[in-house]
Amino acid sequence: MGKMNRVTISVPHGTDLNFRKKAAIKFAFKRGWYGRAVQEAMQLWINIQSASEDGISEENKEYLWKSFQEHMKIESDDPEEILDCIAEFFTSEVKVAEKIEYEMNDNEVTVKKEGSLGPFVSQLVTKKGDCIIFNCPVKIIMDAALKDLTGKKYAVRSEVHTLFSPKAIKESNI
């Protein structure tokens, strides 16, 4: 298991009590239950802080890519052919956007899309603070596909993120 550190922290009473209740249920008061719960919570925090800039973990990107991969029939490891195939799939089959273009410069890809958002909204929502971001599904799939099929990491970015804040939604009566 490796070297262990003893840590002393101060947290609000209510937070600690709620955490202990949940941890006690999960770990059934077995020896080391509280330490395991804190370790799990710390690892979860690290994973969240380590998520990519779009807020979606590499594991979730890979899962999303794998769920679409069988429908795309990509038989190339050429990055531009991969991106062309994905863009075509998302405009003609899934209809996430009316038009999808990308710009590739070395290992950086910028996705530009025009048109509708598509039916996969629930998988594409990221909450940052009190704002909700709808991520570009094409960007996410392109990112995971390039990594999987070429073995290289690309910096794939979307030209625009649709950002909603609770204040804006309340003011517009959505």
Which residues, other chains included, contact 83 with Cβ-Cβ below 8 Å and sequence gap of 6+?
102, 104, 109, 142, 146
Average pLDDT value for residue range 56-64? 77
pLDDT, tens only, 12-54: 999 999 999 999 998 898 999 999 999 988 887 776 666 655 6
> What is the 3-class SS of 113-139, one letter each residue?
EECCCCCCHHHHEEEECCEEEECCHHH
Q: CA 69 to CA 72: how far, in whole Å?
A: 5
Q: CA 56 to CA 123: how far, in whole Å?
A: 9
pLDDT, tens only, 113-132: 777 554 455 455 555 555 54
pLDDT of residue 171: 43
Q: CA 14 to CA 82: how far, in whole Å?
A: 51
Is this model's pTM higher than 0.85 or not?
no
pLDDT > 70: percent of the chain: 71
Instruction: Report whether pLDDT(99) > 80.
Output: yes
pLDDT, tens only, 141-167: 888 889 888 988 888 876 554 444 344
Amino acid 173 reads: N
- Strand, helix or coil at 154? coil
DSSP-assigned beta bridge partners for residue 47 = none
Residue, of 134 and 18, whose pLDDT is higher? 18
**Tokens standing for 122?**
């629930």
pLDDT, tens only, 70-89: 888 888 889 999 999 988 88
Q: CA 95 to CA 12: how far, in whole Å?
A: 48
Residue 121: count of CB within 10 angstroms of its CB: 11
